[in-house]
Structure 1
Amino acid sequence: MRKKGLGVVFSLLVGVSVMLAGCGSGASNQASGGGAAQASPSAGQTAEAPKEVTLKVGAAPVPHAEILEFIKPKLKEEGVNLEVVILDDEGQLNPALKDNQIDANFFQHVPYLDSVRGEKGFDFAVTTKVHVEPIGFYSDKLKSADEIKEGAKIGIPNNPSNEFRALTLLQEQGLIKLKDGLTTYEATPKDIAENPKKLEFIEAEAATLPRALPDLDGAVINTNVVLEAKIDPNSALFREGANSPYANVIVVRKGDENREEIKKLDAALTTPEVKKFIEDKYGVAVVPAF
């Protein structure tokens, strides 16, 4: 009897020990399970937001830099930190791109790029068209093209592509006639075949033409220069039409056109929101090209 009682007691103790061990194991598993449950969302979360990439874009101050500033928030949401770089001399924006100081630039049209790429050895690619700045004829002295008199002094930009552009605009107004057979977007006053009013052409840096207006009868001036000089673009006596081939473009080093952040830049610049921004802010001075 006694032996039997001891056996019962022993069995009870073993049962209790097993139960306690089971409880301990359960508590341990629960704690471990709790830790896994906490870690699980991190492991199972959707991919983290992509690491922010800085994109440096060189630009003319107006309207290029202003348009870029407008799209900064959108690009920020997509993981691109857009840094707008403005140089005192816009002519250095292509060398800066070539030397990897910037990732892209936004200040030029294709005819200008074509006029300098061979001479300077630029191996660039164009990714998207953004806007046209119709070049126009401005004057402090005249009210219409009909008032342009014989021997009038006319200022024109002195870089090859914009000089051709200015002379073409004057030709469209019947003021001059260029030689036939010009095969590039380059021309100078030497390429004028007919000049019935014997106009005198003053070739100058585009940025200096607004300041020279008091000494000229008029000048053909790029719209971005007009805007920077605070001249009303609506005051142009005549200007290019909306079908101008001189759309301002995004330019990158060849091979970079497939970079994800460049594609995001191009997409952000060609949205209905940007089109409305351009039309509302600049009116006839800047025309969307997309």
Structure 2
Amino acid sequence: MRRNTKWVLALVGIIVVFAAIFGFSRFGGTQASNTKLKTVKIGVAPGPYGDMATKVLGPLLKKKGYKVVTKEFNDYVQPNKALNSGEIDANLFQHTLYLKTFAKANHLKLTAIGETPTLGMGIYSEKISQLSDLKQGDTVSLPNDPSNLARALQLLAAQKLITLKKNINVATASTADIATNPDKLKIKTLDAAQLPQSMSNVTIALIPGNYSWNAKLKPSKALALEKLKEDYKEVFVVKTSNKNSKFAKAVKSVLNSKAFKQAIAKSEFKDFDKPASWK
């Protein structure tokens, strides 16, 4: 009986050793496969999209064989030029309208291959909890650059705080295009980067998404959020010559996947305006 017991124990020992070796080789194989991931560099600007690229897109693209790293640029010019020169493989920082305008002006062949959830402009306040609390003569701060100013005026009009003149190009609207201002709101235009700091001196501030994000203003706390037109939705961009590459196809697959939608729903990006295709 003892001999049988020893034999059984010896056999178990052999099995355990083989299992350990097999398990280690499998583990080693997994580790080795990680070293085979192809690194892709995505250009971003300050704001939420670098976080989205690393926290949401990164893990999903890893399953497709890609390791995502980001390169942050401090302006909206260099990410497209870096993509065109091959310094980066893609970028995620701009909306469709900007891409079309910039690419045409700079003779660049760049293509959007999909949309991501986008944080629009929001109305924020440290002094009131709803827009109906606005009083006659309250001060409103708006971004002073032409594109964002036009969007801010459209957002004020959408909230029925002002009206704009008829037959104007709303995409280029300025304060001169305000038709009515029932509450006689005092309009103060500032550099967009200064808008979060202006909240202590004004009743409401209309702040573009990237600046509100950097100031840690939660979209859920906005008194109103911009309903973005499709041309203002954030897009994932590659060189036109690479729009049908394996990487581009992997990105398209991820952006259209149920897993991406579910990951966004569980993330800090859940309140962002969603691509029209999600509805």
The normalised TM-score by structure 1 is 0.71
Aligned-partner Cα distance in 2 for 1:158–1:121 = 27
Cα gap change, 1:88 to 1:154, in 2 (>3 Å): same
CA distances 1:223-260 after superposition (whole Å, capped 9, x unpaired): 3332321223222112234x643321112233332222
Q: What CA distance in whole angstroms lies between the structure 1 residues aligned with 2:182 and 2:123?
A: 19
2:252 & 2:160 partners in 1: Cα distance? 39
Query: Judging changes above 3 Å, is the alpha-carbon distance between structure 1 residues 185 and 121 closer, same or farther for their aligned structure 2 residues?
Result: farther
- Structure 2 match to 1:218: 204
Find the aligned partners of 1:184 and 1:256 in 2 and give their Cα distance.
35
Counterparts in 2 of 1:181 and 1:55: CA distance versus 1, 3 Å: farther
For the aligned residue pairs, the C-alpha RMSD in angstroms reads 2.7
Q: Distance in 2 between matches of 1:196 and 1:123?
A: 46
In the TM superposition, 1:224-235 aligns within 5 A as: 224-235=210-221
Q: 1:208 to 1:97 in 2, by over 3 A?
A: farther
Q: Is structure 2 residue 143 aligned with structure 1 residue 154?
A: no
2:49 alignment partner, one of 59, 64, 68: 64
Kindly, what percent of the aligned residue pairs are identical?
A: 32
Match of 2:241 among 250, 255, 266: 255
User: Is residue 46–residue 74 contact of structure 2 (8 Å, CA) maintained in 1?
Assistant: no
User: After superposition, where does 1:74-223 map in structure 2 within 5 Å?
Assistant: 74-183=60-169, 185-223=171-209
Following superposition of structure 1 onto structure 2, how do residues 28-39 of structure 1 map, counting pairs within 5 Å? none
Question: 2: CA distance between counterparts of 1:113 and 1:193?
Answer: 31
SS in 2 for 1:101: coil
Cα displacement string for residues 23-53 of structure 1 (whole angstroms, at most 9, x for unaligned residues): xxxxxxxxxxxxxxxxxxxxxxxxxx9x754
1:150 to partner: Cα distance: 3.4
1:85 alignment partner AA: K
Q: Secondary structure at the match of 2:116?
A: strand
- Look up the equivalent residue of 1:59 and give its one-letter code: V
- How many residues matched? 240
Q: Which amino acid aligns with 2:187?
A: F
Q: Shift in Å at residue 211 of structure 1?
A: 1.6
Shift in Å, 1:169: 0.9
Structure 2 unmatched ranges of 5 or more: 1-32
The 3 A distance-change label for structure 1 pair 206 and 252 is farther
Q: Closer, same or farther in 2 for the Cα pair 1:79/1:235, shift >3 Å?
A: closer
> Against the structure 1 CA distance between its residues 269 and 178, is the aligned structure 2 distance closer, same or farther, given a 3 Å change threshold?
same
Q: Which runs of 5+ in 1 are unaligned?
A: 1-48
**Pairing 1:55–2:47 present:** no
* 1:151 CA displacement: 3.5
What is the Cα deviation at residue 279 of structure 1? Answer: 1.7
- Letter aligned with residue 262 of structure 2: K
Displacement, 1:208? Answer: 2.6
Higher radius of gyration, 1 or 2 = 1
| Matched residue, 1:236 | 222
SS at 1:132 equivalent: coil
Other-structure match for 1:37: none
> Normalising by structure 2, what TM-score?
0.74
> 1:196 Cα deviation (Å)?
3.2
Write the letter of the residue equivalent to 2:50. Answer: A
Q: Which residue identity does 1:54 align to in structure 2?
A: T
Q: 1:284 to 1:83 in 2, by over 3 A?
A: closer
